Amino acid sequence: MSSFFSYLIAGISLGGIYALIALGYTMVYGIAKMLNFAHGDVIMIGGYVAFTAISTMQQPVWIAVPCAIIACILLGVVIEKVAYKPLRSATPLAVLITAIGVSYLLQNVALLIFGSQARNFTSVVPDDFSVSLGSINISGETVVTILASVAIMVALTLFVNHTKSGKAMQAVSEDRGAAQLMGINVNRTISLTFAIGSALAGVASVLLCSTYPQISPYTGAMPGIKAFTAAVFGGIGSIPGAMIGGVVLGVIENLSKAYISSELSDAIVFAVLIIVLLVKPTGLLGKKINEKV
Amino acid sequence: MAILETNDLSIQFGGLKAVSHLDLKIEKGELYGLIGPNGAGKTTVFNMLTGVYQPTGGTIYLDGVCLNGKNPVEINKLGIARTFQNIRLFGKMSVLDNVRVGFGNSIKYSLLESFFHVGRYRKNEKVVTEKAIELLKVFDLDGEKDTLASNLPYGKQRKLEIARAMATNPKLLLLDEPAAGMNPNETAELMNTIRFVRDNFDMTILLIEHDMKLVGGICEKLTVLNFGTELAKGNTAEVLHDPRVITAYIGEDE
Amino acid sequence: MKKFTLSKPAKDRYITYGMLAVIALVVQLYITYGDASRSFKGLLVPTCVYILAAIALNLVVGISGELSLGQAGFMCIGAYVGSTFSVMTEELIASSALRFPLALLLGGMVAAVFGFLIGIPVLRLRGDYLAIVTLAFGEIIKSVFNNIYLSTDKNGLFFSIGVESKANHEFDAATQVDYIKGAMGISGTPRDSTFLICMVVIFIAMFVMLNFIDSKQGRAVMASRDNRIAAEAMGVNVTRAKMTAFVMSAFFAGVAGVLYSHNLNTLQASTFNYNLSIQILVFVVLGGMTKMRSVMIATIILYVLPEALRGFNLSNYRMLIYAIALIAMMLINNSAAIKRVREFLRAKFARNKNVGGEV
């Protein structure tokens, strides 16, 4: 029983990371109606910035982590301005391919600078953060991840629902044209959304690399896809959906790794997504859209 | 026997009664108009007749066959074809292909024959192409058969929608605001085309229209809808002079 | 006498067939009589595989208008089925001229069956949801094949998903033959894929697909793409139309997988990840998504160019260049500002032309 709880808690922690990444996907989708395929690679870059700060430049954690977050924000905003903004009126497929191009670009930049081999990442969490509950040992990374994700999700929910900028984001995501007519600065709101999504990616990057202490140019790809899955699972465009989707996915992944098969855990995660979409074609909390005839 | 008959036709969206207790009776060969102010529920009636929406009450009979519970594909095969208020052409297909899609269910050949262009494919395609071009001639579109539908000028797009609907060989043709956005010349030309279609193809036509000149000019009978219920019906001249209709609808216009 | 005229689509088809024939002939002559380098020869079969996978995907993305990110999964099925068949029957059917077409057909058909089964749930979804579910199916297929074990011994066939049950199985060591070895995949597939065979397969695929597009079933697919509601109102069974395109695409992707696996010593499922699907999607989108021929040309350019860069000392930068070129191309083709410039130029040009016409 105690092993079940430790798997469950580790799953929640992984799910917290997925949720942070999924929030980036879902917010950007809600507001720009695009799949930001490069989001996973922004995480990878964040990881490398933290890695460089800690291992190469020997900086303390309290400098390294903000550096990673700021780098992600800058990167996210620049990508939006340079690659996505000119394509606002283009087809979704054109934007998707551009995002894929950006993803390739980031991976190859990392490849050129850091090489293809995985580097060891020094955890940003001190050893004495681990907690023992009876016979269950919870690692410091897990504790910090869960606390950080909960704090961020609460803060984000408050921000979106109770600030002017947050409401502007909701309005733009509901109807961009109407929002613009109401005097909302759409470009600024979209930039802000990318900035927040990327900041969450920055936090996720440090947590992810601390939990699985390695980094390579492809570190962001699979977690990115899984988090994207989580966002769809929860209903893409829905912020609470992304949080629930991320946590549920993380738990399913960890439990199936422990109890069913570690090789097939990815397959199981994706199978759950498919089943959910068959029952609810727009995800758990997604809105149904009817076409007017 | 009436070609189309609805009894007590009603639909409700949540608490909103969009259409209630509508009785329509259209005889073969008639040109029938469904008019009413914006939001009166006219397009909703079309959507029920074509199976896009399922009525929450009442019945629809086409030539004696009950249409309740049938989907749009089945209803088209039974003999109702329509056009759309907001033009819905197959934009990236040629004008000819738009019409040939309409003929799809009247030609038979298997997928395997399509793969290799053998067997019934050749003969059927030849026949269908000839028929399609003939139909395009009626609408004066044969010169643009290889143009992409989305590149046609607006008025011609509306005509192509009618041609495409005719290609499905319907018993009843539903036209949803065919003259919307047309100038007076185009409207006059369209009136002639609609009459021509009715006379030469022996077609029954139900049309929704705002343009009173068009309605008065070609429709023999009218039903006036207001807030989803029937306000008046009967011969065009009588209905258009009905004081209730004038207050509810025409009075507003002038 | 009957006059011989060709319809516009028919004329277009013959141009494509002619192009395929010329490519096949020139390249074959070059590798037979010219001094083609090893790396050039090594590129031929993979290029053909990508062409086939891309034109097959175009049936779904371009013709049917649905974004599918699962093409690699169908290639994976075809590759595994084809390879297993070839390895197991290598002694039984000695002639590769007989065995290979059977492998191609079998691989394609099994992929098509899976295409049908996956299509039932997938085609109920729309847009981005359909995209993510096809991606999910592709990843599931990859993971499952990565864990398949298939062996025989004198007691018969052994099949399992996951290594545990194989470890617990008592084999007759003297007669045990392992065909599929989990993550190690399949080795020893006969190298039956040659450039010419690949071109013949592409030719047949192109022939069937182009004929399909110019048929009532093909028109039904495109009508469903352009306007689902209008298509239904015109009596088109949209679900059936989309399914037809999806299954055909799966079939040819499966065949592409068979071609691929018969060009390798060792086949591993991990090759068929979503990155492969995305790469093929890029070929399709940059090929313009309408004409099969343009998709083919885009595939050749986009696949061969980066590979050609390997030879130069730029090789470290080749994927970087590719990525930048991809972004630049999308921006140039689609950005609103550049569209305005283009329209301005076009309007100016048209006006000049009109003036000229009046004079």
Q: Which chains touch C (3 or more CB pairs under 8 A)?
A: A, B
Chain A residues close to C326, C-beta within 8 Å? 97-98, 100-101, 104
What CA–CA distance (Å, rounded) separates B88 from B213? Answer: 25
Q: What is the pLDDT of residues B92-125, one digit of tens each?
A: 999 999 999 999 999 999 999 999 999 999 999 9
Please give the residue of chain A at the shortest CA–CA distance from B48. Answer: A293
Total domain count, chain A = 1
B76 touching chain C per CB within 8 A: yes
pLDDT-derived band at A147, boundaries 50, 70, 90: very high
Q: Between A and C, how many CB-CB pairs are < 8 A?
A: 134
Residue B23, pLDDT above cutoff 70: yes
A93 touching chain B per CB within 8 A: no
pLDDT-derived band at A138, boundaries 50, 70, 90: confident
Q: What are the φ/ψ torsions at residue A22 (nearest 5 degrees)?
A: -60, -35
CA distances from B200 to A38, B195, C12 (A): 60, 8, 37
Q: What are the φ/ψ torsions at residue B94 (nearest 5 degrees)?
A: -70, 165
Q: What are the φ/ψ torsions at residue A31 (nearest 5 degrees)?
A: -95, -35
Enter the ipTM: 0.93
Core vs surface per residue C168-196: b (16+ CB within 10 A) or e: eeebeeeeeebbbbbeebbbebeebbbbe
B107 touching chain C per CB within 8 A: yes
Q: Give the model's pLDDT for residue C357.
A: 36
Chain B residues close to A293, C-beta within 8 Å? 43, 47, 52, 84
Q: How far is A127 from chain C (nearest CA, A)?
A: 35
Is A55 domain-assigned? Answer: yes
What CA–CA distance (Å, rounded) separates C46 from C195? Answer: 9
| CATH number of the domain within which B241 lies | 3.40.50.300
Contact in structure between B223 and B30 (CB atoms under 8 Å): no
Q: Give the model's pLDDT for residue C1.
A: 47
* Assigned token pair, C141: 């297929």
Q: Give the model's pLDDT for residue A91.
A: 85
Same domain membership, residue B58 and residue B130: no
Please give the residue of chain A at the shortest CA–CA distance from C62. Answer: A93
Please give the residue of chain C at the shortest CA–CA distance from A29. Answer: C128
Expressed as residue numbers, the domain containing B72 is 4-88+169-253
Same domain membership, residue B13 and residue B129: no
Q: Give the model's pLDDT for residue C313.
A: 65
* Annotated domain spans of chain C: 8-146+185-273
Is A147 domain-assigned? Answer: no
- A228 vs C132: CB contact, 8 Å cut-off? yes
Please give the residue of chain C at the shortest CA–CA distance from A112. Answer: C316
CA proximity to C78, closest of C95, C103, C57, C58: C103
Q: Give the model's pLDDT for residue C272.
A: 96
Same domain membership, residue B109 and residue B74: no
Same domain membership, residue B188 and residue B84: yes
Same domain membership, residue B97 and residue B73: no
Same domain membership, residue B123 and residue B188: no
Q: What is the pLDDT of residues B43-98, one digit of tens each?
A: 999 999 999 999 999 999 999 999 999 999 999 999 999 999 999 999 999 999 99
Task: Write the residue in B73, B89, B114 that is nearest to C235 by C-beta.
Answer: B73
Q: What is the pLDDT of residues A159-194, one digit of tens each?
A: 999 999 999 999 998 888 899 999 999 999 999 999
Is B164 domain-assigned? Answer: no
DSSP assignment string, C39-75: HHHHHHHHHHHHHHHHHHHHIIIIIS------HHHHH
Q: What is the pLDDT of residues A214-233, one digit of tens each?
A: 999 999 999 999 999 999 88
pLDDT-derived band at A49, boundaries 50, 70, 90: very high
- A98 vs C330: CB contact, 8 Å cut-off? yes
Q: How far is A29 from chain C (nearest CA, A)?
A: 10
Contact in structure between A176 and A189 (CB atoms under 8 Å): no
Q: What is the pLDDT of residues B183-225, one digit of tens each?
A: 888 888 889 999 999 999 989 999 998 777 788 889 999 999 9
Core vs surface per residue C67-85: b (16+ CB within 10 A) or e: bbbbbbbbbbbbbbbbbbb
Same domain membership, residue B211 and residue B147: no
Is B163 domain-assigned? Answer: no
Q: Give the model's pLDDT for residue C125.
A: 87
CA proximity to A169, closest of A151, A192, A152, A153: A192
**CA C192 from chain center: how many Å?**
19
| CATH number of the domain within which A85 lies | 1.10.3470.10
Chain A residues close to C275, C-beta within 8 Å? 221
- A273 vs C136: CB contact, 8 Å cut-off? yes
Q: How far is C231 from chain A (nearest CA, A)?
A: 13
Q: How far is C227 from chain B (nearest CA, A)?
A: 6
Interface probe for B, chosen from C215, C221, C249 (most Cβ of B below 10 Å), is: C215
Expressed as residue numbers, the domain containing A50 is 2-123+164-279
Residue type, A188: R
Chain C residues close to B96, C-beta within 8 Å? none
CA distances from C30 to A67, C36, C349 (A): 55, 7, 44
Q: How far is B172 from chain C (nearest CA, A)?
A: 13
What CA–CA distance (Å, rounded) separates A49 from A68? Answer: 5
Same domain membership, residue B137 and residue B23: no
Q: Give the model's pLDDT for residue C355.
A: 40
Interface probe for A, chosen from C120, C126, C139, C286 (most Cβ of A below 10 Å), is: C139
Q: What is the pLDDT of residues C11-68, one digit of tens each?
A: 899 999 999 999 999 999 999 998 888 888 999 999 999 999 999 999 999 999 999 9
Q: What is the pLDDT of residues A254-283, one digit of tens each?
A: 999 999 888 889 999 999 999 998 888 888
Burial class of residue A150, CB neighbours in 10 A (0-12, 13-18, 19+): middle
Is A90 domain-assigned? Answer: yes
Place of tokens 């309740």: B68
Angle, vertex CA C36, rays to CA C31 and CA C37, nearest 5: 140
**CA B189 from chain center: how many Å?**
18
Q: What is the mean pLDDT of residues A21-39?
A: 91
Whether the CA torsion B216, B221, B224, B228 is positive or negative: it is negative
Please give the residue of chain C at the shortest CA–CA distance from A89. Answer: C336
- B104 vs C215: CB contact, 8 Å cut-off? no
Same domain membership, residue B80 and residue B176: yes
What CA–CA distance (Å, rounded) separates C218 from C238? Answer: 11
B180 touching chain A per CB within 8 A: no
A293 touching chain B per CB within 8 A: yes
- A293 vs C229: CB contact, 8 Å cut-off? yes
C13 touching chain B per CB within 8 A: no
Is A196 domain-assigned? Answer: yes
Q: Give the model's pLDDT for residue C235.
A: 96
A181 touching chain B per CB within 8 A: no
Please give the residue of chain B at the shortest CA–CA distance from C289. Answer: B92
Q: How far is B116 from chain C (nearest CA, A)?
A: 6
What CA–CA distance (Å, rounded) separates C229 from C218? Answer: 17
Q: Give the model's pLDDT for residue B253.
A: 46
Percent helix / strand / coil, chain C, rounded to 5: 75, 5, 20
* Assigned token pair, B43: 């397009």
What CA–CA distance (Å, rounded) separates A161 from C4? Answer: 70
Q: Give the model's pLDDT for residue A120.
A: 92
- C233 vs B114: CB contact, 8 Å cut-off? no
Q: Give the model's pLDDT for residue A135.
A: 79
Residues of chain C where predicted confidence (pLDDT) is lower than 50: 1-2, 353-359
Same domain membership, residue B63 and residue B99: no
What CA–CA distance (Å, rounded) separates C122 from A47? Answer: 35
* Assigned token pair, A23: 């929030």
Please give the residue of chain A at the shortest CA–CA distance from C141. Answer: A267
Chain B residues close to C8, C-beta within 8 Å? 146
What CA–CA distance (Å, rounded) separates C305 from C309? Answer: 6
Is B181 domain-assigned? Answer: yes
Place of tokens 């009957």: C2
Q: Give the model's pLDDT for residue C359.
A: 33
Chain C residues close to A282, C-beta within 8 Å? 129
Same domain membership, residue B41 and residue B97: no
DSSP assignment string, B191-248: HHHHHHHHHHHT-EEEEE-S-HHHHHHH-SEEEEEETTEEEEEEEHHHHHH-HHHIII
What CA–CA distance (Å, rounded) separates C110 from C129? Answer: 25
| Partners of C129 in beta bridges | none
CA proximity to C114, closest of C88, C91, C87, C142: C142
Same domain membership, residue B99 and residue B65: no
Is A145 domain-assigned? Answer: no
Element (H, E) at C264: none
Chain C residues close to B115, C-beta within 8 Å? 208, 211-212
Residues 6 or more apart in contact with residue B8 via CB below 8 angstroms: B21, B22, B23, B57, B58, B59
CA proximity to B10, closest of B234, B229, B233, B248: B229
Is B99 domain-assigned? Answer: yes
Chain A residues close to B84, C-beta within 8 Å? 293
How many CB atoms within 10 Å of residue C22?
10
Q: What is the pLDDT of residues A68-108, one digit of tens each?
A: 999 999 999 999 999 999 998 888 888 989 999 999 999 99
Total domain count, chain B = 2
Interface of B with C in 119-148 (CB under 8 A): 121, 124-125, 128-129, 146
Task: Write the residue in C211, C232, C244 that is nearest to B73 by C-beta.
Answer: C232
Q: Which chains touch B (3 or more CB pairs under 8 A)?
A: A, C
Task: Write the residue in A100, A266, A273 that is nearest to C282 by C-beta.
Answer: A100
Q: Give the model's pLDDT for residue C356.
A: 37
